[in-house]
Structure formats: C-alpha cells, structure tokens
Amino acid sequence: MALFGLFKKSGTNNGEMSFWGHIDALRGHLFRSSLVVIIIAVILFCYPEILFDKIIFGPLKTDFITYRAFCKLSHMLNLGDDLCFGHYTFKLQSLGLSDQFTAQMWIAFIGGLILGSPYVLWEVWKFIKPALKDTERKSSGVFIVSATLLFIIGVSFSYFVIAPLMINFLGNYKVSEMVENNFTMDSYISTVTTLTLSAGLIFELPILVYFLTKFGLVTPEFMRKYRKHAVVVILIVAGVITPSPDVTSQLLVAFPLYFLYEASIFVSRFVMKKKAKNN
C-alpha cells in the first residue's frame, strides 16, 4: 500500500496529486537532472586528453596502479609473477570516420552522469519523498550520501579491478597464433563503460533493498533463506566477470559482492525493526 503514497504530495489542500500531475512532476525532475549531466558533459568534452589518455586508456598502460598492486600482492602471497599482468600487444583502431568524435561525446556523457550522480540522486529522492513519513524525510542527507558513495565505490571497483582483469583475459586470448589481436576503439570503450556503469548500479543494492523492504516486498528472513543461492549466483557472476582460471582474481571480485549482499540483509533488518518500532 505504501506504493500508493507516491501519489500523495505534501503542501496541497487535500494532500493528493493526480496521475498526470505526478507525471508532470517526474518530468521536471528528469529535466533538471538531464540539464546538470549535460552541463558537466560539455565541460568534460573540452578535455579529451584527460578523459582518454589518463582515464579510459589508463588500464592499457603497464604502470597502471592496479597492475602494480596485483604484482605486489602476488609476491606477498608467494605466487611469483602469477598476478603480474598488464602487458598488452594489441592495438586499438578507429575504423569509422566519425568514431572518435562520437566516442568523445559518449565518454563525456558517461563522465557527466558519474560526476552528476549526487544531484541526480537528490532529484530521485525529491520524487519519492512524498511517499514517506515526515520522520523518514529527514534522512534525505543520509540517502544522498549513501547512494552516492555506493555508486562511486561500484564504479571505482569496476574501473580498478573488474575492467583490468577482463581486459587482461580478453586482450591476450587467442584461438590461434595465426590470429592477431587488433580491436576497435568502440569495442574497448563499450566494454569498459558497460562494466563500470553496471558495477555502479549493482552496488546500489542496499539502497534498493531499503525501499523494497519499506514497501514490504523483501524481508531479511527471505534474504537469509536464499543466502546459499545468492553465493552461487555471486560465484557465477565473478566467474563471468573474470574469465581467467585464476581463483585469486575471482575471489577478489566475489568477496565485495558477497559483502554487499550481507550489508543488504543488515539494511533490511534495520528497516523492519524501525517499522515495528513505529507501529
């Protein structure tokens, strides 16, 4: 029933908002969010040397921080050079006349979306706030900070861990020595951005669980009951993300995902206790 609270708006005479009025309010939130993202994207578009040389193509450099950290970890665990990687022989190509220009526009937009995420999340909160009680509305700051941190952590985790592992495996994979690896720039950019944004959204799981529990769709008992199933899914996801047969790299991906699931159970339990206390 709490879902119907989205059609209520404080500050009106009868506390109710029509369906079309609600759609109009959503349109305003989307417009302001889009405007902020576009402004940031335009600014980033003017600095391609930072977007590409420093960030997007960073994982292709042998001195990338992840490769140095993995190599040190490998020596600490007495694994020799098993985790030392980052040496690529393939080259990126731009085959289309407008590929580099469109790639710059796309990366600038992704950067605007990431940097503008705090404001976008603020607009999301303003949209769903009418469905919550007055005491819950006071926690808007916690919501914005938590959601932003989780998204940034997810993006960083993908960029510094998942993307390099994926590039290492796919970039050096060959079905035959007769085939030379030369990839298009679009293929590389698509892989990096998809992994990065996907991880950012996946790390919003505790926030999603918070609202699902709020609306009575998820309980901590349900999540604990299917914990073993979740572990299997997490291991499968880690195996897909890191196709390398190396177990260490797979566990480096699986552990943060499992911690995320456990944190979501804690969040769900917290919400249930708060609901019981208020009732």
Three-state secondary structure readout of 176-230: CCCCCCEEEHHHHHHHHHHHHHHHHHHCCHHHHHHHHHHCCCCCHHHHHHCHHHH
Q: Are 165 and 253 in contact (CB under 8 A)?
A: yes
pLDDT at 182: 85
Least confident of 1-15, 51-65, 230-244, 250-264: 1-15
Q: Identify residue 104 by its one-letter amino acid code.
A: Q
How many other β-carbons are positioned within 10 Å of the β-carbon of residue 148?
16
Residues 145-203: tens digit of each pLDDT: 888 899 899 999 989 988 888 888 888 778 888 888 888 999 899 888 888 888 888 89
The more confident residue out of 202 and 17 is 202
Does residue 8 have a pLDDT over 50?
A: no
The more confident residue out of 5 and 175 is 175
Question: Which long-range contacts link 99-106 to residues 24+ away (Cβ below 8 Å)?
Answer: 99/184, 99/185, 99/186, 100/185, 103/185, 103/186, 103/189, 104/45, 104/48, 104/51, 104/52, 105/45, 106/189, 106/193
In order, the DSSP letters of 32-51 are HHHHHHHHHHHHHHT-HIII
Does residue 1 have a pLDDT over 70?
A: no
The answer, as to whether pTM is greater than 0.85, is no
Query: At a CB cut-off of 8 Å and minimum separation 6, what does 151 contact?
Result: 114, 117, 121, 200, 201, 203, 204
The more confident residue out of 279 and 115 is 115
Residues 216-246: tens digit of each pLDDT: 888 889 899 989 998 998 888 777 766 556 6
pLDDT at 6: 45
pLDDT at 194: 86
Does residue 141 have a pLDDT over 60?
A: yes
Measured CA angle at 257 (ends 255, 262), to 5 deg:
90
Alpha-carbon distance of 165 to 195, in angstroms, equals 11
How large a percentage of the chain has pLDDT more than 90?
22
Ranges 75-84, 126-135, 220-229, most confident:
220-229
Q: Are 66 and 164 in contact (CB under 8 A)?
A: yes
pLDDT at 9: 44
Instruction: Could you list the beta-strand ranges (E) of 9-165.
Output: 91-93
Alpha-carbon distance of 45 to 178, in angstroms, equals 39
Q: What is the chain's mean pLDDT, rounded?
A: 82
| Residue position matching structure tokens 């960030």 | 55
